[in-house]
Structure formats: structure tokens, C-alpha cells
Chain A
Amino acid sequence: MTRDEVRQAIMDILGDIAPDEDMSSLKDDISLREQMDLDSMDFLDIVMELRKRFNIEVPESDYQELVSMASCIHYLQPLLKDHQLAS
């Protein structure tokens, strides 16, 4: 997956988890929780969706890597390098 594809994959997950949010102006460098109504159960949803969609395990010690879009991409791109974005 390219960087843009990884970003899209995360956007797809966030779109499912927070269907009421307008994410068109989401800024990559600001924490997701500052820009969206997300709580700890939502972050567990992100972890679950990464497991289901890409067979990726995010250990609890790495949850902080999911704080912003930029950190998500940085953390997930190496793990997703051999994956394809579902069409």
C-alpha cells in the first residue's frame, strides 16, 4: 500500500466507526480525538478493524501510535506494505 492508500484505509475505518462525522477537513498532524468524537471504545474498534481487515495486531503498548492520522500512517505503513486496498 502506498502512503495515500494507507490513509484511505484508515479513513474507511474511521468512517464506519464515526458515521456522523464530517472528515473532509481532517488534519493529519492533530490528534484524532481533538477533531472527532472518539472514545476508548472507538479506539478498540480501530484495533479490531485492523485485525479483521488486515490481520494486523496492535499491542496495547502501541495504542499511542494511533493518536493522529500522521502517526497512524507512520506506524501502519510498514505493516501494510504487502496489503492491497480493497476495491
Chain B
Amino acid sequence: MNNQVYPEERIVITGIGLTAPNGNNLKEFRESLLAGKSGVQKFETRYVGEVLAGICDFDVLKYQKKKELRRGTRVGSISIYCCREAFNDSGIDLESIDRSRVGVYLGVTEHGNVETENEIYNISKYDYDTKYWSHHHNPRTVANNPAGEVTLNMKITGPHYTIGAACAAGNMGVIQGLQMLRLGEVDIALAGGVSESIHTFGIFASFKSEGALAEHEDPAKASRPFDKNRNGIVCSEGGGVYILERLSDAQKRKAKIYGEIVGYATNSDAFDFILPEPGRQAECMRLALGKAGLKPSDINILNAHATATQLGDVQECKAIRDVFGGEQGVWINNTKSFIGHTMGAAGTLELSGNLPAFEDGLVHQTLNLDNLDPECHLENIVFGKPKQLDKVDYIMNNSFGMFGINSVLIVKRHKN
């Protein structure tokens, strides 16, 4: 039994696996973000009809057999793809490591709605006779399903679970992985977030009932954070998973290091079921800065959470102004403008899209920002085209969710 803890150990990102509506690996995703390529399309969903959504087109058979696909869930498949890709990217040979020392920590906004809706639809064809309800429903809907499918596929025998954290979940998966590495519970953490949300009609119907579902005749222009004409969220699926390691382990094996997680924070608004509270969001950003020992002016890129709802964007901008007001060197962008809101995957996916800036100094733009809403005015929102900086040392990533769950990550450039 390994009882050693590593409270002071620095934690680094050494592998990235992702699928986004506009790219199935970091290179493709980054290219799309720099080229201004949206991933939003028209999508037909049960009962609601035609909606707009971000849909991923990764090769589902790359790492799974047809039978695994049939038995598992869409989000299980997204999780397996991302975790396998992250491992491949890290250069760690899965066959040669102690897989009891690997942990799988995946953030989810929700889980189980897709399968429950499918089963109710299925038994509706049999006059709602529950003897036609599938025996697969339970394993498909337990909350650990996405992470559990990963362990079966990759024969990982360390801990696995999901972290339910609404739309802050991607960052929360990373925070969990970091903490477990410092506690010495694992030596490698597969950490991030995943979402299959577009396959539940309920999420579209519910956002529509809230008046918060984006509509636009041109799908690519539907997700418009900070824009005066924004009219709601584009729901998307996706996944973003990191290999996290202690720096000493990564250096021992001469790993490629994408960055070091130097700051993180999570807190709660304690205010409302769905409405955000800028005071607590600002506090969360300050907590992360404090943990990293940084001043606001040290941050070069701030990836905003903004989802393109009327109130949510305004509230986050208030929080950002509160923390960063007047700082000229902090450049702000938003990834949802390209891919919509990938829910549980948003935190890690959006951070991933900015990590290559440590190498190329480019801040990808915020798409569809044609008329800035004066209430969303911030000093340095990047729009129109990418912004070239001399150097990027620190990236901050915001992800907030319902019930006022806030999460912030700060990643530092690492000199390989």
C-alpha cells in the first residue's frame, strides 16, 4: 500500500484527448479555432424537431467493438475515445504500467437522461408495458457509467467515478484528478469532462421553455456570446480528457508537458437554481489567482464561460470587470461561439483550445461578435481574427453551472 502524499507536488498536463464538434484531436480543433470554423449544425431531435447542435464525428470504432457500442452509451463512447487518445498522446504505454495506479475522473453535467428517454420511447411502442424495458437501462444510467466504460475498455483497475457539476464539470474533473495525484491515490489521472447531452430531447425542450435556446437561420452564427443579438445556448456534445501526472514523474519519463495547473478554485453562489451571481464568480477567480500566487495582470488569456444567454453573459462580464477591470494585458476569448455549449466537456475542451497558445502566442478569436452588447463590454475581447501576443505564460479558464457552481483553472506555460 502506497501511503505517500505529495502536497507540494506540481501537477502537469502530459496528454490530451478530445472530440469537439469541429475537431477530433487537439491539432484539428486548434486549426478550426484559428480559422474561425464553427461546428454547429442543424440536428433533428425527438419531439422537439429541428434544432441547432454541435455534433462530434469521431470514429466510434477506433477503440471499441460494435458490441461495446451497442451495449454502452454515447457518452461512454466519447469517454473511451478521449481517454485512449489522451494516453496515446502522452506516450505512456498502457500495456507496461500498473493500471491499478490510474484513476478516471470525468465531469458530467447530467447522466442517464438519454437512456431513460430512449426506454420510455421504446415502451411507448408496446403500450407502455414495462416488460419491454431494457435490462441494459441500469448499467447505462448509473452515474459512474462514462468512467466505468473507460475502465472496462482500457482494463484500468484504479478508482473511477464521475463528478456531477453541471457546466462546471470539465474543470471539476481536472481539479479532482489533481487532488488525487497530490493525495498519492493514483500516479496517473485521466481527468476532464464529457457530454452526450444533444441526444436527450429534454435539454433542448427545457432550454426552449426557459427562453434560452439559440436560434439562427445560419447554424454557424447561432452561438453569439457577448453579442447584442445573442438569443441563447447551442447545445453540443463532446469530450476533453487530460493525462495528469506529478511533475517529477513526467520529468522522469521526459514527457511532453502542455502546461502546469498552478491555480484552481471552486465555490458556490448559494443564490439561485439557474441565475448566476457575479460576486461569487469573481471570488472564485480571485481564489484561483490566490492559490497560484498571481495578480490579475499576470493572466494573458482568459477563456470566458459565457454561453450566450441574455443574463448569464452580463453577469460573468461584471465578475470579470470586478477582478480584471482596467488590466490591458489580459485577452479574453470564448470557445462556445465556435462549438456551442459542450456542457460537461466545456471546461476541458475550451481550455484545450487555448493551450497551444503557449507555443504560438495566438489567442483564438470569439466568433460571431458583430455588435458587442455594451453590458458585456470588457477591455480586451478578441474578435474578428486571432490576436498575436509576444508570449503567453498564464491561461485562466472559467466554467460555471446551475446551482451556482463555479470553477476556475489557471495553467502556466512549462518550459520543456
Contacts and interface: CB of A to CB of B under 8 A. Distances in A.
Interface of A: 16-20, 37, 41, 44-45, 48, 51-52
A15 B60 CA distance: 19
A18 B66 CA distance: 8
Contacts, number: 23
Contacts of B131: 51
Contacts of B66: 19-20
B67 A48 contact: no
A41 B132 contact: no
Contacts of B71: 41
15 contacts: A16-B70, A17-B67, A17-B70, A19-B66, A19-B67, A19-B70, A20-B65, A20-B66, A41-B136, A45-B135, A48-B134, A48-B135, A51-B131, A52-B126, A52-B132
A48 B129 CA distance: 13
Interface of B is mostly: helix
Contacts of A19: 66-67, 70
Contacts of B134: 48
B238 to A, nearest CB: 26
B233 to A, nearest CB: 36
Interface residues of B, number: 11
Interface of B: 65-67, 70-71, 126, 131-132, 134-136
Contacts of A44: 135
Contacts of A41: 71, 135-136
A51 B132 contact: yes
Contacts of B132: 48, 51-52
A20 B71 CA distance: 13
A20 B134 CA distance: 21
A16 B67 CA distance: 9
B72 to A, nearest CB: 12
A41 to B, nearest CB: 6
A52 B133 CA distance: 11
A18 B135 contact: no
A52 B123 CA distance: 10
Nearest to B70: A19
Contacts of A48: 132, 134-135
Q: Which 5 A-B pairs have the closest CB atoms?
A: A19-B66, A44-B135, A20-B65, A20-B66, A20-B67
A44 B133 CA distance: 12
A1 B132 CA distance: 24
Given A18-B67, A20-B67, 19 more contacts: A16-B70, A17-B67, A17-B70, A19-B66, A19-B67, A19-B70, A20-B65, A20-B66, A37-B67, A41-B135, A41-B136, A45-B135, A48-B132, A48-B134, A48-B135, A51-B131, A51-B132, A52-B126, A52-B132
B234 to A, nearest CB: 33
B91 to A, nearest CB: 29
A17 B68 CA distance: 10
Contacts of B135: 41, 44-45, 48
B80 to A, nearest CB: 16
A62 to B, nearest CB: 16
Contacts of A16: 70
Residue of A16, A37, A52 ringed by the most chain B CB atoms within 10 A? A52
A45 B136 CA distance: 9
Contacts of B70: 16-17, 19
A5 to B, nearest CB: 24
A56 to B, nearest CB: 12
A44 B70 CA distance: 14
